[in-house]
Amino acid sequence: MRNKNIHAALIPILLGAASQTALAQEPAQAQEEEVEKISIVGSRVAGRSVEDLPVPVDILSAEALANTGQTEVGRMLQAIAPSFNFSSSSISDGTDALRPATLRGLGPDQTLVLINGRRRHQASLIHINTSVGRGTAGTDMNAIPAASIKRIEVLRDGAAAQYGSDAIAGVINIVLNDADEGGKVAVSYGEYSEGDGETTNVDISKGFSLGDNGYLNTTLNFRDRGFTNRAGLHGSCQFSGCIEQANGDLLLGDPREATATRSTFRIGDADASQFGLTINSGYELGDGELYGFLTYSNRDNESAAFFRHNNNNGGNAPLQDGDATIPAGFLPKINTEIKDISYNFGYQTEFSDGSSLDFSYTYGQNNIDYVTSNTINSSFANSLRYSSSLSADEIRASIPRQASAYGLELSLQTLNLDYTQDYEYFSLAMGAEIRTDEFKVTAGDEYSYRDYDTDELGNSLFPDDRSAGTQGFGGTAPMQAVDETRDVISFYIDAETEVTEDLIVSGAVRYDDYEGFGDSTNFKLAANWSITEDIAIRGAMSTGFRAPSMQQLYTDNISTQFQTDPANPGGDQIAVQVGTFRNDSNLAKAIGIPELKEEEATNFSLGTVINITDDINLTIDWYSIDIDDRIVLSNSLGQGLSPALDAALIASGAGAGQFFLNGADTETTGIDIIATWNTELLGGDFNLTAAANFTETDVVNIYTPPDSALGGIDPSDVFSEQAVSIIEEWQPQDRISLSGLYTIGDVSINLAFNRYGEYTVTDGGTQTYGAEVLTDLRVNYQVTESLSFNIGGNNLFDVYPDENTIGNSRSGTIVDASGDVVVSSPGVFTYSRRSAPFGFNGAFYYAGAEFKF
């Protein structure tokens, strides 16, 4: 009994975009059999036809993913699922290494990710810098090798009543390969047109039969990606002594200014190297099947921070010879090791009456360890200057240049018990879940966080103070270490019935009890009415919730953030020591920050499925998502807003503080449109897919807790225009794609046009970035039944976003005594480092080969 429905307490389906394209190439009988076997997220009834399902789901096949030419799952999804966004940012600490993935313009933590139908753990990182997803913690989409994936199911509807917390925007279910024979070796290499970002990807997959009763499928992946750099020139003075002239130009003072390097920043993709392993297995045992999977990945990343120049006295302390600790300046590097492991095992059995029972255990863990390299602790250099007899050169030789900053760990354990029963007129499912979340923060090396030039009370030990901790990425002290757990118990009941031959109605109720904030009960009601054989109307209404993440509850650190200087909005961004204080900290309690509670959502959707002809299909789905008590991260709040806040910040040693609050209500509306056409053309098969997503999110209310030190502060000072803009405007409000797959003989050609709509970024000023169309092309030639070669390009015509005009840094014009220009630059951020939906690397060209056996 090889039952492929087994793991899937999964989803009602609309075969969208790439899925229909993939299935269209199979014989009609094979298509029918495949649909009958698929059980997908959202419905616990297997075998429904496509037109019967009440909510939209895209089924993205392995072939469709491969045809994108991308090597990362996040980028693959972005290329073929218009409602999915995988935004890039740069110089944003851990976010450079682990990008935020979003659905329908909401936050990364408002989409639930599953593996084989089981809840996937989040990444331990929370995005606290200024990027898409600020204040949220999502899932590492790139931890799963693409070659191990059979298909990806994207449920575009609220599903908290079925799956619990996080499923407000929808559900992404990654289904692993389960073939019991065959395998492949695939190799690809590519680089950007600028000659960087060299990427090598190697996949090895093999399926094994376990006697006549089981299978084991395994995938090994190695991916190495070089960094990219699109930084502009450093136009401001790196050494002291520059004199501003009447026209605004700077006359160099120090002669070293004339020969100083002007390529000081590294702004682009991080250097990354990843090894991944996936095993998926099932074995018929007794009257059921024993099943399980294992996923493991290890990714090493290196990104860069802000360059510390010679006259940056705080971060590059001057020594007794009057020169900086590192005279030529230095570019701190953030080295990130991300380890991710999960495993699952379970047993499912079917009884003679058609009912089934499924019991499983799932464990997942994500670790991130940070090491700051090519750096210094400026306060350490300052202390040696005043408290030792060492010369300036001896101090330079003795200063450590790297340190372990801290480690993050988030783990999730889940026990699931699911029961299903098919009756004559309806199907019933019920189940229970026990979950344990754990979050840890481990302290870094003392050198990474210590302030060497002040005493324990914060008093200066020397005539002047310099910045504490490692420059670029400071560490976490033992007093900020975290080890917290939370238990969750859940129960659900789910039913589906055919009221008439043309009307299917489904409903679900779920109860979740969270240790810490209490319980939540949510429901969902959905229906599909087949008006004619070719036209159906579907709709759903549901409530949902998202519990505060462990990271939002317990993150507690002090980091250096570069922000626009309020006193000089058009000038260089300045370094601010910003403390992110945990929700239950003494500091948060001292100023009356309340405990976090769950976000609450109401979701409505209405759509239609139209079979225009046997070969042309159209779906249109409208949705509305209202979220109350959305958890947001406050601005960096400095002194002068409240006496209680002032006292708390002074005691903490931070120049500013930020807090997680239930502080916003939002409304999101949008439309998804997908059309497919499958036909024969000039002796070959042609499959055309047009897909579009239009989404708008409005922050309709911001507020602060009235009985706190923030209560007397205007909410717009706590949640600035920028904070609101991140939620409303930093992701494209529309995405449109047109892709065609043409296969003739041994050649297949995939051509795709992806339009990214306008988006607006607020960063000191406000700038709207225009819509752009990117062209992707992939050509595959099947040399033999086993061997194939492919070549292609992503962003074939080298399209970049609009150049940046706001929030820049290190801009200026420097001239020498004769008036000759040494350098003139609008700043190092040629493109916005805050948000770039398709990045800013330009064209990527690649070639590959695949051998099947």
Dump the DSSP string for 176-217.
EP--SS-EEEEEEEEEETTS---EEEEEEEEEEEETTTEEEE
Q: Cβ distance 831 to 803 under 8 Å?
A: yes
Q: Cβ distance 848 to 842 under 8 Å?
A: no
Give the CA dihedral 48, 54, 57, 59, nearest 10 degrees. 10
The pairing of strands 250-251 and 812-815 is: parallel
The pairing of strands 765-769 and 101-103 is: unpaired
Tell me the three state secondary structure of residue 52. helix
Tokens of 282: 């099932």
Q: What is the pLDDT of residue 6?
A: 35
Q: Where are the beta strands (DSSP E) in 248-353?
A: 250-251, 271-285, 288-304, 333-350
Rounded-to-integer distance, Cα 710 and Cα 724, Å:
18
**HEC readout, 598-624:** CEEEEEEEEEEEEECCCCEEEEEEEEE
Longest CA pairwise span in the chain (Å): 95
Question: What residue type is assigned to position 61 of the chain?
Answer: S
Q: Cβ distance 740 to 748 under 8 Å?
A: no
Q: Is the dihedral of CA 124, 128, 129, 133 positive or negative?
A: positive
Q: Is the dihedral of CA 207, 210, 212, 213 positive or negative?
A: negative
Q: Which residues contact 246 (CB under 8 A, 6 or more apart)?
A: none
- Neighbouring C-beta atoms of residue 451, cutoff 10 Å: 22
Question: What residue type is assigned to position 665 of the chain?
Answer: D
Q: What is the pLDDT of residue 569?
A: 63
Which structural domains are found in the chain, ordered by start?
A: 17-231+266-801+836-852 (2.40.170.20)
Q: What is the pLDDT of residue 22?
A: 36
Rounded-to-integer distance, Cα 117 and Cα 189, Å:
33
Residue bearing tokens 């009235």? 706
Question: What residue type is assigned to position 417 of the chain?
Answer: L
Rounded-to-integer distance, Cα 1 and Cα 349, Å:
10
Q: Which residues contact 281 (CB under 8 A, 6 or more apart)?
A: 210, 214, 215, 216, 217, 291, 292, 293
- Neighbouring C-beta atoms of residue 486, cutoff 10 Å: 19
Q: What is the pLDDT of residue 821?
A: 97
Rounded-to-integer distance, Cα 542 and Cα 540, Å:
7
Tell me the three state secondary structure of residue 262. coil
- Neighbouring C-beta atoms of residue 570, cutoff 10 Å: 12
Pure H helices in 269-416: 378-387, 392-398
Tokens of 397: 């030789």
Q: Cβ distance 374 to 331 under 8 Å?
A: yes
Q: Nearest-5° angle of CA 162, CA 168, CA 170?
A: 75
**HEC readout, 361-382:** EEEEEEEEEEEEECCCEHHHHH
Rounded to two decimals, the pTM is 0.92
Q: What is the pLDDT of residue 12?
A: 32
Tokens of 491: 């129960």
DSSP state of 88: B
Question: What residue type is assigned to position 708 of the chain?
Answer: S
Q: What is the pLDDT of residue 529?
A: 94
Tokens of 729: 């405007």
Give how far the C-alpha of residue 788 lies from the chain's centroid of Cα atoms, to the nearest Å.
33
Phi, psi of 397 (to 5 degrees): -75, -25
**HEC readout, 539-600:** EEEEEEEECCCHHHHHCCEEEEEEECCCCCCCCCCEEEEEEECCCCCHHHHHCCCCCCCCEE
Tokens of 468: 């504490």
DSSP state of 634: P
DSSP state of 386: H
Tokens of 605: 């959707």
100: nearest Cα among 77, 144, 132: 132
Q: Nearest-5° angle of CA 414, CA 370, CA 411?
A: 5
- Neighbouring C-beta atoms of residue 363, cutoff 10 Å: 15
Distance of CA 205 to CAs 186, 276, 852, Å?
9, 12, 9
Tokens of 679: 């036909």
DSSP state of 687: E
Secondary-structure percent of the chain, ordered helix, strand, coil, rounded to 5: 15, 45, 40
Tell me the three state secondary structure of residue 125. coil
Q: Consecutive sets of 10 residues in the chain, 853 residues long: mean pLDDT of each?
A: 39 34 37 46 59 83 96 96 94 93 96 96 94 95 97 94 94 96 97 98 98 97 98 97 94 95 97 98 96 98 97 94 97 98 97 93 98 98 96 97 98 97 90 97 96 86 93 92 96 93 94 92 96 94 96 83 62 68 80 89 96 94 97 83 72 75 96 96 95 97 85 85 96 96 97 97 95 98 97 98 95 95 97 96 98 97
Q: What is the pLDDT of residue 559?
A: 66
Tokens of 276: 């991944």
Tokens of 188: 């690809």
293: nearest Cα among 163, 411, 175: 175
- Neighbouring C-beta atoms of residue 797, cutoff 10 Å: 10
Strand order in the sheet with 574-580: 557-563, 574-580, 656-658
Question: What residue type is assigned to position 6 of the chain?
Answer: I
Q: Cβ distance 90 to 96 under 8 Å?
A: yes
Q: Nearest-5° angle of CA 234, CA 240, CA 241?
A: 115
